[in-house]
Amino acid sequence: MADPKTLHDLPTPALVADHSALQRNLTTMAEALPGDRLRPHVKAHKCTALAARQAAAGHTNFTCATVREVEGMAAAGLGNDLLLANEVLDTRRLGALDARVTVAVDSTETIRAAASGGVREVVIDVNVGLPRCGCSPEAAGGLADEARRAGLLVRGVMGYEGHLMMVDDRAKQKAATDESMALLLQAHGDVGGELVSAGGTGTYDLNSAATEIQAGSYVLMDTAYAKLGLPFELALSVLSTVISVSDKWAVGDGGLKALGMDHGDPTVEGANVWFCSDEHLTFSRSPSPAIGDQIRIQPAHVDPTMAKHERLYLLDGEDVVDVMEIDLRGW
């Protein structure tokens, strides 16, 4: 295929983003949380080219969720300060990377794994209310001591208030975030270190306890985050071609293999989405679309949507102005 010049050249389904909206999202965040106040989470886009844009906006420390993401960021020259904000027992691939790598630990086992894999720096992951990883706040100090005895540098604490990202009353969200962060600060008192790493797009402006915020979704956004009234624009969609039209419904190419479905059905502006199949979206709209029309499908969850695509096309209106490989997929 020749290089696509406009969206009409793209084989569909194709993942696209509005370039100017994306740039405005980068700017808005960089103004709110400049430089190291933001540690962008690459799990939201899995794309080193987008991470490079975030670095150009001033954020050169990054958060990762998988070993593959850490490897890819290091290989792309973005390894200034990478935090693997996740527990990992298989550390074989982490120790030899040409990057500063810090790993989250929440147990004796993960401390041992970090030390034996050649990882040099860790943060103590503290559970602040989301039933997932992290030790109890009371256990954090003891684990920090244990990590230091194992020869690891303890940089501080992290604690993700993921259960609070989608609270739609901001006053309640602020109060709950403060409660969560009180637990993290209590742990930090016992652990020490310069880092109190937490937060996400939903609490980026409410979390005043963290020294750095791990937001990622803000760059591209999705329909779930768009409901919260944050100052970030929905830049992402899946470009789809209408391939079949009946008197009651129409069908676009691009279905649940092209969209993160865990937050529910995607949205097509001005249309009723009936359901997604593997490679189809059935919808109705008045007036009915014509076969060959292109539509934009807005995903409900950005992270898994990105992980399903090989590349992201950046658009200025109908023009394709950049193509980014989504190169941090897999494990």
* Residue 235 beta carbon to a second copy: minimum distance, rounded to whole angstroms: 19
* Residue 128 beta carbon to a second copy: minimum distance, rounded to whole angstroms: 13
Kindly write out the interface string for residues 46-75 of this chain, putting x where it contacts a second copy by CB under 8 A and - elsewhere: -------------------xxx--------
When binding is defined by CB under 8 A, the residue of 58, 245, 285, 288 that contacts a second copy is 245
* Residue 93 beta carbon to a second copy: minimum distance, rounded to whole angstroms: 8
With tokens 């886009």, the residue in question is 45
Which own/partner pairs from 245-250 qualify as long-range (CB within 8 Å, at least 24 positions apart)? 245/288, 245/289, 245/290, 245/291, 247/288, 248/284, 249/274, 249/282, 249/283, 249/284, 250/282, 250/283, 250/284, 250/285, 250/288, 250/289
Q: From 316, 254, 319, 322, select the one nearest 20 (Cα to Cα).
A: 316
> Which residue, 109 or 319, has its beta carbon nearer to a second copy?
109
* Residue 37 beta carbon to a second copy: minimum distance, rounded to whole angstroms: 23
CA angle in degrees (0–180, nearest 5) for 197-202-205 = 70
Contact between 214 and 85 (Cβ < 8 Å): yes
Q: Residues 256 to 295: which contact a second copy by CB under 8 A? A: 256-258, 260-262, 274, 276-280, 282, 291-292
List interacting residues with a second copy (CB under 8 A). 1, 11-14, 43, 65-67, 86-90, 92-93, 106-107, 109-110, 127, 131-134, 136, 162, 241, 243-246, 248-249, 251, 253, 256-258, 260-262, 274, 276-280, 282, 291-292, 303-304, 307-310, 330-331
